[in-house]
Structure 1
Amino acid sequence: MEAASRMTLCGICKQKRVCCSAVVWCTECHNGLCAECQNNHDVSMTNHSTITVEGYLNLPPFIKSLPLVCKEHNKKLEKYCFDHNTPFCFLCNEKYHGCCAAAVVDLDTMIPNIKSSPAIENMGIKLKEIVGILQKLRLDRSENLLKLKENRTKIKNKIELFRKNINEEIDNYMQDVDLALEKTRTEIDQLLGNIVKREGQMLELSEGITEIKSNATNLQIFLGTKQLEKTLDSADNFVHSVINSNSLDTISIQSDTELSLTNPIFDLNKYLTVSTTRQPTIKEFMPPNLKQVQTPILKDTKVTLNHQFNIKRESKNLAISGLCVMNNNDIVFADSNSDRLIIHDKNGSFKFEFYTEQENSFDITQLDDVTVAVTSGDDEIYIVDLSDKKVSKTLQTKDTCYGVQYSNGAMLFTVKEKGIRKISMSDFKSKYIYKSNISWGSYITTFGGNVCFTNRELHTVTLVDSAQNIIWSFSNKNVLQQPYGVTSDIHGNIYVAGYRSNNVVKISHDGKSGVEVINHGSNIDCHLRAISYVEQTKQLLVTSEEGTVFVYDIK
């Protein structure tokens, strides 16, 4: 898109070599239009929308610079891949995203109501929160600089009383003081510069939220929110790294010796010394809702591979996204690249497969001895009778549903950007039990009346109670990246499959401890995704998206 200056010319008139100021901007043609050309344009392009030139110019630069056509093929962007976090045209689909069916959505289905979506509102709130934190950090470091100056003034006053007799030596001593001051000031100035820079970036983005909602196209908003998520993630990491390191220690300089003319001085180099001390800050910078649990290490978990097997394939593009273990220990797998449910016995032998004749499947949970519920990754949940091999009922959710868990006569499932819904299996009435901006592809598990869910975009695992209160939120990118499948044992310990980190992390029931118990390294043919803990056998079943099942004994 050609960037407009404060005076925007009519694009059509410019092609005719006529200089005429634009009064509106077409968000489809990406051109300014004068009053005369606007009239012709509105007649011939009835499906195009326009905004004022002033509204266009007030959009944040990163929104105006977003590419709205495929850079490689110069075609309209039609789909979005959540695995690659990128939009693409129809020509890119087969070339780059052949194995991403479960993570691909049509942009036309995603963007119509995006201006009213809570996602952009939540980003505006998050931006303001980070700006507030950065302002506090800037003030704290500025106050420390003032304190350092006060330290120097106090030392200088003491030195002046002593300077009369040893003027030359005292000057050397003051140089040491200034060197110490300069060293600590440089450290703080560097951090303060980074803080001020981040604060400016966040403030600019925050101030642009209103203009984005008012003037940006739905596509611009959708693509912009994805870029904002990356920017927020970077800023969030920066804030946590500053707070959790020793960067906010209160730095002081002082004289280590009580100066007195009565003291015998033989070696001034040893007598006059300068030292720097650091005292950890006791100030609170993070609001309670932004605090995250960090990771002490569990030492008592032993995991041993019992056996592994491969799920029967229909095609090379097998993508296992969900599993559940039935009461007879049969294992049912959901293939998100097709409408297949695949059943193996506990030893890994293939039993049968079943085509639901629906568009897709995502996650799966057992309802009774022969019945399972399957989320579609869209707006439907299928109730499947495995004994009759048919879909006995289809529930319309009206929302995009992903992870699902059956508990106490009800199904709980995650809803993209909205939260967690509960459907009673007695009357099929539903309600939201937790409202939050949950990411695409979130999974869910329950224990003790609490609900635990993953957020692959924020790399978090969160536990909430029945009153919608967050009990804890676990995040550590050094251990867990892109968490997908999640399960729990009877003690409330949480096991999470990291898709990008390609591992399994165990989180204690209180969220205060976590440890990597399984690691598949950088194996490009194995991305861990679905997971289930079997209490009867004390085993953990972990399935790669590519269709390899690992059965681990847990001690």
Structure 2
Amino acid sequence: MDKEDQRRFVVIGTVILEVVEPLLKQRLENDVQSHGFKSFYDFINSPPTIHILFHLRHRNTWCCKDELYCRNFSTLPLNYQQWDLLYQEKASHHNCHCNYKANSLHVDDLDISLMFLILLNCCKLTSFEETCIVKLRQFKQDYLSVNTKGAITQNEYNSFWKELEACVQQLDTSKQEDLVRIVNRPFDENLHKTYMQILVDISGVFQQRVSTRGIDIQKEMQVQEEKQDEENKSTNPLCKSCSFRNWNLLASKWCLQCEEALCDTCVQHHTASKMLRSHGVVPIKEYVEHKNLIKSFCGKHEMIFQFFCESHSIPLCIKCVSEKHQACDIAPIVEKINVSTWSAESEFEKVQKLLQNIQLLRNSVTKQQDSEEKERRKMDESLAKAFVDIKTRVLDEMNDRKRRAEEISMKLLLQEKAIDSILRDWQGVSANTWMFSINNDVKEHENMYLELAKEIKTMSNGIDIDKWKNSVTSFRIGSTASHCDIQSSLNIKHLQLKEVANFEILKGSNENQIFGCAILSRKEVCFADRGNNRLILMNSKGYQKIVKLPCSPADVTVLSATKIAVSLMEMRTIVILNTEKWTLESPIFKEEKGIAGLSFYQDQFVVRTESGYVFLTQKGKVISKIENIGPKMPYVAMANKTICMAKWDENEVQCRDFTGKKVWVYKKESVLKTPNGVCTDRDGNVFVAGSKTNNVIVISADGKQSKELLKGQIIFPIAIDFDKEVRNLLVCSATGNAKLFAVY
């Protein structure tokens, strides 16, 4: 059995037992106190609580008191052992909840399964809490309680981990660090054996129950499948709950959340249950007529729609709420179904109009594609004798535009087909029940249409060829004394930024001190947190990995797709993080006098030390040194044959050759104050983060020109990195606010 599969099993088990169980215990104790009970015993011994739990263990029983609230469950979630743990019978043999009293017990005496049952049935929970607890209970059942293999595959783990993580954070946002700690914990074989022993016991009980029933499971499944086939063919489906008990009663209602047909009697029990009363129940006739238009599930997260966003007028699942709608006005979707007014005719006309607009826009795109292709050919011919690298830039941009136009055309075609499908299935919809799913689809298509129309309008402006014609300056040789060649550089007045992604790094156990950052790929980045001794790897969707370090990281740089170099302050070393195995390799370099910023370019390092700069091979062998360089310059960036650094106390940026000779010095305090992070592009232009001026500027390779690219979007920017391949710029503040920009 794969050790990694076993490790993932232990991770999920540990999350349930070390994180979820204490959360449930605390929530249960809070509910007991909020209802004025002095102890858990008083709560569990109260008549309403006994009544609820009594019917979770006893079927076909009606109490002498509160008969209106008696319920008859098709399955009994409370088993004998749990019931006997909670209650003991009084002297009489009256078969009613009033014949029982609670045993003397504390919350700590409950197992996690019993806590789930009591919370969901006896406690006052918000809609968010109830949904999260139901899902956590299901995770425990699906991946622990019957997992006799003691292993979880990578695909299984990926399919539910983010949802599990979201549920835990919804209940308690402070548990993020605990989740990270558990995920990064090494495999514990003894803990795995302990979990397996628990599972073997559960499996044994399950098998004993099955054998006691004496039912042929395969035969029962076949009967159920046959019933299901008959029900699907019928215009009047049978009640699902009654069918389970072999009663053939016609259904009168349909539950949107359970996706089951119910008879009148079962509807009464359904709406009386605390766990089920918030579900949307609609007439079965409406369901049969319009089931092709029903969408009870979120297509993005594959979860049930349970809420409605008043701010955006769309249905939401719990994951949608936690991701993008936390600040919105949210209501249970069943409330909106009951009060909504909706005109099918007006919506039909609206969708027809949208289809017409999409068709017109797609025709426009097709014509523009032909025009773009002709222009591309002419441009190719006109640039035949130009500089090769500039020609490549222009054609790359045009090819990107061509590819984008093809993508837009395909999206519009798919939109056209989707809208056409809605119109075909419409067939006189009049029920308010289906308004939300239809409206949601239409709104998505409207938004996509507007976005595509806006992008096409931008593309129709054509390429600014003057930007590329003027983008090459004449070649210039540096001073003979410095033996430095300044490469041809982009005319920086044309440089612009476009935001690609935004990153917010959550606070660790200590205050964040992000003093180093690096770009791993187009939308993957890495941050060095000096305050919490960690590396944080993120993509545009959020956290990917948090790696604990033995001491404070000074800076970070990327060597390859699978290796990241980190300079460690207290250990005064450079170590390599292998992102395939997520392990730290042996130090490749150690400097007794201290170590700070580092940069990697063309297979060699330059490292800032206490006395100056050291040039290293990729394996850590010293090539050369620059001594007697002043302090207050913690960061360094390497260009073709120069290095650049910022002296923050004197508000200046320096460029030196590999011998240490100054090539140029930039100082303009009206533009740049307290410069810190520096990086360079392939043309030798220098990007600098101005911490006090809250900006980022670019300085030309010869040091004569400068331009402010960013102002005020990042407060106190300090770390910065540039990807020379895809021309992306990463800017980060010490507290953990960062943005990724495309430079063009």
Larger Rg: 2
Higher relative contact order (CA 8 A, sep 6+): 1
Q: TM-score range by the shorter chain?
A: 0.3 to 0.5
* TM-score (norm. length: structure 1): 0.43
* TM-score (norm. length: structure 2): 0.32
More strand by share: 1
